[in-house]
Amino acid sequence: MSCGGTSAFAARPGDPVSWVRAPELSAGRTPNIEFTARLTIDVTPALRGRIKIAAFQRGLTVADMLRALPDREYPADGRAAS
**Interval 32-78: pLDDT, tens:** 556 678 889 999 999 999 999 999 999 999 999 998 998 889 888 87
pLDDT band at 2; cut points 50, 70, 90:
very low
> Rounded to the nearest 5 degrees, what angle is found at the Cα of 58, between the Cα atoms of 36 and 55?
55
Question: Rounded distance, CA 52 to CA 63, Å?
Answer: 10
Please report whether residue 3 resides in a domain: no
Higher pLDDT, 79 or 65: 65
For residue 14, give the amino acid letter: G
Alpha carbon distance 38, 40 (integer Å): 7
Q: Give the number of domains in the chain.
A: 1
Q: pTM here?
A: 0.52
Q: What is the pLDDT of residue 38?
A: 84
Domain that holds residue 42: 8-73
d(CA 81, CA 75): 8
Which CATH number characterizes residue 68's domain? 1.10.1220
Residue 37: partners with Cβ closer than 8 Å, 6 or more residues away: 24
